[in-house]
Structure formats: structure tokens, C-alpha cells
Amino acid sequence: MSESFFVKHDFLLRRLHSLSGLVPVGAYMVVHLLANASILNGVDAFQNVVYVIHSLGNALWIVEWVFIFIPILFHAALGFVFMFQARHNTQRYPYVSNFRYRLQRITGMIAFVFILWHVLHLNGLIHAEWFRATIADGLGIAQFRPYNAASTAAEALQSPWVVGLYALGLLACVYHFANGLWTMGITWGVWITPRAQAWASRVCMGLGGLVAAIGLCALIGFWRVDIERARERELEMYRQRVADGSILENPHKLSRPVEAGEPRSH
């Protein structure tokens, strides 16, 4: 009987899976949380970060799919295959490593569901006005507007239930990343001896704690934003950037269009 594709290429697939968990998926998560943490420096700081990201223009969706969404889907798909192949033995062998192995799978499932919900909740899947007008607004998804970045993110996080779910999803993602980084080192033969693995475990968990703290602080920062003041400041920044030519006028990226009678930027 011939071996299945996954059995035949198990060695390669497991290394691609662990590598994709670090680059680009894990690296993107860290950069994303650092960018979000700029809200702690005020509305201007966060809005400027978003302006830099959206300076990619029409190439943004290509970058998102090639370097973010497709790698996440690849990593998740292989993760589910390996998860269903695995045999958990925490009851028979209640060792810490076995519990970490099982928790890695559990947090992976939580992280996948959370990321899917997070993308739909704030950004949707398609950067197009027709999607926002015909689908997103009716479903209450895609609430984030790039040129009203802080205020719309804060609006989306006003419910304590939503904040709690974001905190849970964030912690699941961070644990999955940090523990996955440790197991990746074992898979690739970076730390082999028990002593090296123990030190690597401390470093990876310490890194995970730092990343989690950054993410939670950013979450608290959005929750504490004064939405009306933020919207006023964002509109001022938008008008100034349109006036100096650093961005093109694009009311679709605002939470509401500039109304008739309001002072415009040109």
C-alpha cells in the first residue's frame, strides 16, 4: 500500500510548518502588536503608522495575501493535519512537556478562530467600497477605517466582552508563537541537550511574556481612547495630508465622508 502524501513528505512538511510559524506568521504578529502599541503614544502616533502601511496603495491587498493570509492558512492547514495525527498521552504521562504539546494544539485552534474573527471584525476580507456598503455594514464587520484608525478601533473595542475575547485570542496566539519557537529549535536541532532546551524554554517564554504585555497594553490603550477627540484629530491630519499631497483624497477610508459645508483641505 502506497504511503500518503503527508507521510511520504512528513520531514519536509514539518520543517516548513515550523518555519512558517516563525517567518512570516510569528514575525508579522510581533510587528503588528508593536504597531498597535503606538496608540500608547497618542492618536497621532498610531495614525501615522497606519498612513505608512496604507501608502502601499493598491499593492496593499497583494502584500496582505502573499505575506500574511496565505502563510497563515498554510500554517493552519498543516497544523490541523498534524493535530489529528497526534496522540495525546497527558493522562498516562503527565509531564510538563506533554502538557505543553497539548496546549500548543489547543492554542493553535483558538488562535485560528480568533484571527479569522479579528480580520472580519475590523478589516473584512475585501478592500472595496461595494463590500463595505452591501455586506460589511449589514453584518457589523469591517469596522476599522484607515484614516480614522484610533477612533474606529476604539469603537470596535468598547464592549467588555469583545475586549475579553481579544485578550484571550491574543494570549493564545502569543503562547502558540513562543512555545512553537521553542519546539522549532528542537525540530531544527538548534538546542539539543536538556540543558540547552531548558535555557531556550526560559528565553522563549520570556519573549512570549514581553510580546503578550505589549499586546495587552495596546488593547488597554485603544479601550481608553476618547473617540470624539480622536476623530477630530484624525480629520485634521487627513485634511493636512491631502493638502500637502502626501495622500490622495479618499473618503472611503474615513468613518464618515466630509460633509457638505465642512471646511475641506483644498
| Residue 90 clears pLDDT 60, i.e. is over it | no
pLDDT in tens, 133-164: 677 776 778 899 999 999 999 999 999 999 99
Question: For residue 138, what pLDDT is reported?
Answer: 67
105 vs 252 pLDDT, higher one: 105
Burial class of residue 207 (count of CB atoms within 10 Å of its CB; 0-12, 13-18, 19+)? middle
Mean pLDDT of 241-262: 77
Stated as kind and residue range, the H or E segment containing 38 is none
| Residue 263 clears pLDDT 70, i.e. is over it | no
Reading the block at residue 197, the C-alpha cell is: 532546551
| Residue 261 clears pLDDT 90, i.e. is over it | no
Mean pLDDT of 182-200: 93
| Residue 218 clears pLDDT 90, i.e. is over it | yes
130 vs 68 pLDDT, higher one: 68
Percent share of the chain, pLDDT over 90: 72
Confidence of residue 89 (pLDDT cuts 50, 70, 90): low
Question: For residue 123, what pLDDT is reported?
Answer: 87
Q: What is the mean pLDDT of the chain?
A: 88
Question: For residue 95, what pLDDT is reported?
Answer: 67
Q: Which of 40, 76, 34, 70 is nearest to 53 (CA)?
A: 34
Q: For residue 58, give every residue at least 6 positions away whose Cβ sits within 8 Å of its Cβ, in sequence order, or none.
A: none
97 vs 174 pLDDT, higher one: 174
Question: For residue 3, what pLDDT is reported?
Answer: 66
Strands (E), 142-197: none
The model's pTM is 0.89
d(C-alpha 252, C-alpha 212), whole Å: 33
Q: Which of 48, 253, 39, 49 is nearest to 157 (CA)?
A: 39
| Residue 88 clears pLDDT 80, i.e. is over it | no
Q: Are 73 and 25 in contact (CB under 8 A)?
A: no
266 vs 245 pLDDT, higher one: 245
Q: Does CATH place domain 8-253 in 1.10.1060.10?
A: no
- DSSP state letters, 203-253: HHHHHHHHHHHHHHHHHHHHHT--HHHHHHHHHHHHHHHHHHTSS---GGG
Question: For residue 252, what pLDDT is reported?
Answer: 84
pLDDT in tens, 28-81: 999 999 999 999 999 999 999 999 999 998 899 899 999 999 999 999 999 998
Mean pLDDT of 182-199: 93
